[in-house]
Structure 1
Amino acid sequence: MLNYFLKRLLGLIPTLLIVAVLVFLFVHLLPGDPARLIAGREADAEVVALVRQQLGLDLPLPQQFWHYITHALQGDLGVSMVSKRPVSEEIAQRFLPTLGLTLSSMLWSVIFGMVIGVVSAVWRNRWPDRLGMTLAVSGISFPAFALGILLMQVFSVQLGWLPTVGADSWQHYILPSITLGAAVAAVMARFTRASFVEVIQEDYIRTARAKGVRESVVMVKHGLRNAMIPVVTMMGLQFGFLLGGSIVVEVVFNWPGLGRLLVDSVAMRDYPVIQAEVLLFSLEFILINLLVDMLYAAINPAIRYQ
């Protein structure tokens, strides 16, 4: 297990290097001149050239990349072109709101998704199954930005129950977490149902029932545990999606997180911030997948890694 873990950690290096190269090329292909945006529309060519020189954008691309990657390997992600603050401070300031939103969204979506999936599997082809799958399809089909606007209109504007923007209290998390977690809950429900339906048709489930084991024990102890392995995989992927893909929701609710920071950075062509955030999201996905692989062995002792 330890050797497998170390090999996967070493595999991070070439993956992140490839991501660094691709994102570096991507941000430099974006239309627009960051020096012009920072200098302002009224600035003349000399001022823009001076700003470009201060930012290091006048250097050849290979030299810019070498400067970027050598500093990144030393833990220096650069300085924001807009705020003039270290990129690490910008990300650290925005990370906790995004993490809190992600955890709250993941918590309720996993609980509701798994409950709906198990209920639909146990009473499949009956009204609880049809109702649950109708809710799941609706959750997947409804766009996040439209759901967020609808929730704000109903619960903030008309009823006045919940705040619309900001992250100052727990009430601020309710609407964004529902918006962000709706699609995840729908995916979890459908995936849990499919996995559970397959498991409850296995021979060991029929054997447990034949021995007179209570149905609730059969479903939870024998059925749910064995159905959890593919579900855990989906949970890991969905958590990575939530952590890195909350951009739309953060924009709708003006959430002070990484997604909002990324949108603002793209608009201002803030290259260091964009590169650091994409690298961070890539690292998160890799580490989450590694954690999911480790959880396999905890759920099913028969699984061993070499």
Structure 2
Amino acid sequence: MLNFLVKRLLGLLPTLVIVAGLVFLFVHMLPGDPARLAAGPEADDATVALVRADLGLDKPMPTQFVNFFMRTAHGDFGISTRSKRPVSAEIGERFMPTLMLTLVSMVWAVIFGMTIGIVSAVWRNKWPDRLGMTIAVSGISFPAFALGMLLMEVFSVKLGWLPIVGDGSWRSYVLPSITLGAAVAAVMARFTRASFVEVLNEDFVRTARAKGVAEQWVVIKHCLRNAMIPVVTMMGLQFGFLLGGSIVVEVVFNWPGMGRLLVDAVAMRDYPVIQAEVLLFSLEFIVINLVVDVLYAVINPTIRFK
């Protein structure tokens, strides 16, 4: 296991180098002049040229990439062209709101989704199964922005129960977390059902039932652990998508997180912030995949990494 972890950690470096190169090229292909946007619409050409030189955009593209790569290797993501603050400070302020929203969304989505999936698998082709899968399909099919606006209209505008924007209380997490986690809960329900249906047909489950083991213990003790490996894989991927894909929800609810910061950075062509956020999202996916691989051995000790 230790050798596996070391190899995976060393494998981070070339992956991040490739991602950094692709991000740099992608950002510089965006239409619009960041120097013009930073200088303002009333600035003349001389002022724009001074701003471009100050941002380092007057240098050749290879030189810009080398400077970007060297600064990133030392943990320096530069200065935001929009706020004139260090990018690390900008991201540091926005990371915790996004992380907390993602954790809340993931917790309820996993609990709700796995419960529906297990119930649907145990009573497959019966009314609990049909009801659960109908809810799951509805959750996948309904767009996040439409669900968010519908929830705000009903629970904030009409009923006045919950705040529209974040106010720091637990109540402000309810609507955004439901909006963000709805699709994840639906995917978890369908994936858990498929995994449990496959395990329920295994020989060891029929043997346990033949020995007179109660059905709830068959499901909890014999099926749950064996069905969790593909479910854990999906959980890891969905957590990564939530952490890096909460842009729409944060914009709808004006949430002060990284998704909203990325939208503002793209609008202002804030190259340093865009590059740093995309690199951070890529690193998050790599780390989450590593954690998922380690959890395989915890769930099923028969798995050995070579």
The answer to whether TM tops 0.5 is: yes
Larger mean CA deviation between 35-44 and 163-172 belongs to 163-172
Is the partner of 1:42 in helix, strand or coil? coil
Partner residue, 2:255 = 255
Q: How far apart are 1:178 and its partner, in Å?
A: 0.1
2:187 maps to 1:187: yes
Matches within 5 A, 1:211-250: 211-250=211-250
Partner residue, 2:7 = 7
Structure 2: distance between partners of 1:23 and 1:75: 16
Structure 1: distance between partners of 2:168 and 2:33: 35
Structure 1: distance between partners of 2:196 and 2:166: 39
Partner residue, 1:286 = 286
Q: How far apart are 1:5 and its partner, in Å?
A: 0.5
Aligned residues of 1:209 and 1:215 also touching (Cα < 8 A): yes
Partner residue, 1:36 = 36
2:206 maps to 1:198: no
Identity of aligned pairs, percent?
77
Partner residue, 2:149 = 149
Letter in 2 for 1:50: L
Matches within 5 A, 1:28-107: 28-107=28-107
1:84-141 CA distances to partner (integer Å, 9 max, x unpaired)? 1111110010000000000000000000000000000000001000000000000000
Q: Which runs of 5+ in 2 are unaligned?
A: none
Matches within 5 A, 1:153-164: 153-164=153-164
Aligned alpha-carbon RMSD (Å): 0.5
Q: How far apart are 1:168 and its partner, in Å?
A: 1.3
Structure 2: distance between partners of 1:151 and 1:106: 19
Letter in 2 for 1:204: F
Q: How far apart are 1:261 and its partner, in Å?
A: 0.2
TM-score (norm 2): 0.99
Structure 2: distance between partners of 1:286 and 1:232: 15
Letter in 2 for 1:224: L
Structure 2: distance between partners of 1:105 and 1:76: 31
Structure 2: distance between partners of 1:239 and 1:167: 24
Q: How far apart are 1:169 and its partner, in Å?
A: 1.0
* 1:232–1:167 CA distance, 2 compared to 1 (3 A): farther
TM-score (norm 1): 0.99
1:156-194 CA distances to partner (integer Å, 9 max, x unpaired)? 000000001125111110000000000000000000000
Larger mean CA deviation between 215-224 and 160-169 belongs to 160-169
2:220 maps to 1:207: no
Partner residue, 2:265 = 265
Runs of 4+ off more than 4 Å: none
Give the total of aligned pairs. Answer: 306
Q: How far apart are 1:302 and its partner, in Å?
A: 0.3
Partner residue, 2:274 = 274
Structure 2: distance between partners of 1:80 and 1:284: 22
Letter in 2 for 1:98: T
Letter in 1 for 2:41: R
1:37-83 CA distances to partner (integer Å, 9 max, x unpaired)? 11111111001001001100000010001011001111111111111
2:115 maps to 1:109: no
